[in-house]
């Protein structure tokens, strides 16, 4: 088994982790841990773009107002203003890194600005319809040029190492993170990685649901590890379901960008009739929670497998220029979006809650930070505004980098190696596959777009049973990637259900038939772990 020491340990290889690494590379020795390849995270899947008020007819205050409205009374206004006011710097930093946003000579910014649901004007900087991929590839190229940044691919973090895992420091008043245990999947060995500062940047937990726009890596790892280590968790009940995921048996998790509706795409029933105006005056440009619930309502009311997104009134050349990825993928599946509407369904998309972090990304554990979708900063409230997620990654990564640079370097204790002296190889891997499938199905059925207390309690009961099975399996057998991901998914599901049961109202992304009203004053749902594992 290998021991490794770094100044900075970043768990996750998305935009948040890459941004932080590049800001610290000149002065720190950095390790990035990623479960698959460096480009396999959700950031590369982001189609839309990054919201920033740079045009003359826009303002950061307008961006703030749109975010607050979408967040349904739960956004932290100071945090929201901080992010909106730093959006211009984020865009300029990306441009300096070499990002080529789609241009438009007729716009005074020099760029084509898209409009998406919930935004009062065009403010979305994008690179075609594959913004995340363009950004990640450019930043990765820059990271690979740095001698101070190491990337450990095919490695999955198991648990954070805190005082509680060190006999001499257990029970001390100021709890601190010293690094993490990480499974090297290539060698089937566990590394003990020590670091002065550890960053959770693992993305969300979309794979806890049967249908999701997320990649297979989105298993809530950072949120679950943070919870087990003693981090506060907030607002996990607010899971954003993207209204328009491509409905096709061979189109795994393929998203139809919000920008399609922003450019005039209309949602229709199979008979060609529009329905969104019956649900909201903003129609197709209403915030995602409203559009997703409207589609869910129409599908259940009429027994439909899907609804349709119609952009056929736009020219063939316009669609190929603005949505090349979507156009090509649909055509591969026999759908010509210039001639026929796109079949779509809602799917789990974004985790608005997560590990509680402040304006600098700090958690309640010393030397542990959380940034990106893993974190709950107060920006998204009860519903994330479109194209605020990539922006959040950059702004908070930059803030965390400044905070880390200002921190004094302290000595690290010698950390114990991973102990697997009392475990054996697993004898029945089918247990993991079965539990994974069961979890995702009952979360979709019981903890989806529309909820009831009885459904949530049923889910909670099943989660308790899965916890028992997984904990027994974890205690007796050597860890594998599948086991670790299942363990994290069950913890994430538990946190979602706990938060949902505590919210006795409907707000934003959480809609309960038992509590359809919205209370006058919104409050965050904050979970604090009593017994730390």
Backbone angles phi, psi at 38, to 5 degrees: -65, -15
Q: Is-catalytic flag, 478?
A: no
Given the residues 261, 288, 384, 455, select the one marked as catalytic: 288
How many Cα atoms within 13 Å fall on the side-chain side of residue 477? Answer: 19
Torsion over CA: 260, 79, 372, 59 (sign): positive
- Radius of gyration of the CA atoms of the chain, in A: 22
How many Cα atoms within 13 Å fall on the side-chain side of residue 366? Answer: 14
Contact yes or no for 497/525 (Cβ under 8 A): no
Question: Residue 220: which region, alpha, beta or left (left: phi > 0; alpha: psi -120 to 50)?
Answer: left
Residue 364 to residues 104, 357, 414, 528: CA-CA distances in angstroms?
A: 45, 8, 23, 11
Residue 314 to residues 111, 272, 306: CA-CA distances in angstroms?
A: 21, 17, 22
Token pair listed for 168:
């001499």
Contact yes or no for 326/337 (Cβ under 8 A): yes
Token pair listed for 347:
């799917």
Contact yes or no for 359/327 (Cβ under 8 A): no
The vertex-189 CA angle with 186 and 192, nearest 5°, equals 120
Active site residues: 288
């Amino acid at each position: 088994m290998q021991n490794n020491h770094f100044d900075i340990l970043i768990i996750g290889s998305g935009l948040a982790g890459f941004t932080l690494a590049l800001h610290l590379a000149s002065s720190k020795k950095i390790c990035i841990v990623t479960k698959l390849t460096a480009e396999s995270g959700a950031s590369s899947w982001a189609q839309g773009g990054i919201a920033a008020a740079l045009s003359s007819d826009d303002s950061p205050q307008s961006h703030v107002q749109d975010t607050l409205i979408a967040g349904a009374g739960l956004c932290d206004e100071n945090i929201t203003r901080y992010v909106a006011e730093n959006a211009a710097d984020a865009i300029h930093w990306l441009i300096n890194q070499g990002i080529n946003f789609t241009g438009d000579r007729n716009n005074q910014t020099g760029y084509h600005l898209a409009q998406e649901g919930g935004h009062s004007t065009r403010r979305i900087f994008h690179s075609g319809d594959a913004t995340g991929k363009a950004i990640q590839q450019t930043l990765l190229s820059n990271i690979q040029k740095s001698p101070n940044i190491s990337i450990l691919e095919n490695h999955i973090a198991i648990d954070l190492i805190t005082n509680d895992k060190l006999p001499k420091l257990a029970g001390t008043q100021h709890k601190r993170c010293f690094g993490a245990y990480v499974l090297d999947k290539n060698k089937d060995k566990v590394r003990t990685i020590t670091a002065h500062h550890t960053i959770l940047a693992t993305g969300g937990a979309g794979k806890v649901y049967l249908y999701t726009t997320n990649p297979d890596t989105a298993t809530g790892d950072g949120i679950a590890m943070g919870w087990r280590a003693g981090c506060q968790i907030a607002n996990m009940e607010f899971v954003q379901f993207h209204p328009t995921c491509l409905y096709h048996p061979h189109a795994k998790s393929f998203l139809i960008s919000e920008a399609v509706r922003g450019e005039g795409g209309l949602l229709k029933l199979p008979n060609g009739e529009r329905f969104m105006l019956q649900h909201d005056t903003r129609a197709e440009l209403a915030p995602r929670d409203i559009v997703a619930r409207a589609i869910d309502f129409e599908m259940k009311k009429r027994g439909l497998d899907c609804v349709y997104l119609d952009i056929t009134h736009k020219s063939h050349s316009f669609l190929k220029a603005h949505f090349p990825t979507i156009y090509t993928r649909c055509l591969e599946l026999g759908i010509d979006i210039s001639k026929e509407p796109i079949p779509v369904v809602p799917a789990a998309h974004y985790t608005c809650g997560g590990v509680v972090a402040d304006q600098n990304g700090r958690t309640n554990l010393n030397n542990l930070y959380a940034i990106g979708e893993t974190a709950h900063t107060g920006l998204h409230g009860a519903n994330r505004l479109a194209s605020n997620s990539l922006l959040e990654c950059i702004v908070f990564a930059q803030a965390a980098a400044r905070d880390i640079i200002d921190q004094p370097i302290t000595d690290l204790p010698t950390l114990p190696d991973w102990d697997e002296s009392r475990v054996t190889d697993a004898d029945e891997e089918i247990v993991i596959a079965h539990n994974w499938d069961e979890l995702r199905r009952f979360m979709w059925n019981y903890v989806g777009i529309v909820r009831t207390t009885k459904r949530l309690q049923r889910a909670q009961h099943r989660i308790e049973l899965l916890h028992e099975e997984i904990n027994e399996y974890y205690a007796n057998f050597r860890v594998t990637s599948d086991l670790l991901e299942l363990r994290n998914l069950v913890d994430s599901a538990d946190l979602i259900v706990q938060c949902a049961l505590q919210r006795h109202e409907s707000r934003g992304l959480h809609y309960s038939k038992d509590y359809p009203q919205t209370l006058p004053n919104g409050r965050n749902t904050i979970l604090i772990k009593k017994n730390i594992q």
